[in-house]
Amino acid sequence: MNLLFRKLYLYMLMVLVISLLLTGLVTAMIFNTRHEGLVRNVIRNQVVFVGRELAKTQRRAPNSLPERMQELGDDLGWNIALWEQGQLLHSTLPNPPLPPQDLNERLRKENYVLSWDFPGRPQVWISQSFPRMGFRLRNRVLWLQPRLSQLSRPAGAPLLAFVLILLILGLLLLPLTRFLLKPYRKLQTAIQALAQGDFSQKLESQQMREFEPLVSSFNHMSSQLAEMLSQKQRLIADVSHELRSPLTRLRMLLEILHQQAPEQADLLEKGIAETEELDHIIQDLLDISRLELDQLPLNKSRQDLRSLVFESLERHEPLMEQKGLKIEAKMPETAVMVDVDRERLNQVFNNLFSNLSKYVPDLSCVSLQIEVQADQALFHLRDQGPGLTAPDLEKIFEPFYRPDTSRSRRTGGTGLGLAISRRIARAHGGDLRASLPQDGGLALHLSLPLAAA
State the angle between helix axes of 212-260 and 156-195 in degrees (0 to 180), rounded to the nearest 10.
30
pLDDT at position 26 is 67
> What CATH topology corresponds to 210-292?
Helix Hairpins (1.10.287)
| Delimiting residues of CATH 3.30.450.20 domain(s) in the chain | 2-155
Q: Which 3 state secondary structure label does DSSP give 296?
A: coil
Residues of the chain with CATH 1.10.287.130: 210-292
Looking at the chain, the domain(s) classified CATH 3.30.565.10 span 301-449
Pick from 57-66, 120-129, 257-266, 418-427: least confident: 120-129
Average pLDDT, the chain: 78
Count other Cβ atoms within 10 Å, centred on residue 376: 15
Percent of the chain with pLDDT over 70: 79
CATH superfamily, domain at 301-449: Histidine kinase-like ATPase, C-terminal domain (3.30.565.10)
241 belongs to the catalytic site: yes
Q: Regarding the domain with residue range 2-155, which homologous superfamily does it belong to in the CATH classification?
A: PAS domain (3.30.450.20)
The better pLDDT of the pair 45, 303 is held by 303
SS3 (DSSP) at 182: helix
> What confidence score (pLDDT) does residue 332 get?
92
Catalytic choice (90, 220, 241, 280): 241
Lowest-confidence region among 116-125, 219-228, 359-368: 116-125
Strand blocks (E) in 282-364: 300-304, 326-330, 337-341
Is-contact 79 145, C-beta < 8 A? yes
pLDDT at 308: 94
Sheet of 443-449, strand order: 326-330, 365-373, 376-382, 443-449, 431-435
Confidence (pLDDT) at 405: 45
> Are the C-beta atoms of residues 369 and 385 closer than 8 Å to each other?
no
Give tens-digit pLDDT for 94-140: 888 888 877 777 777 776 677 765 556 777 777 765 444 333 335 67
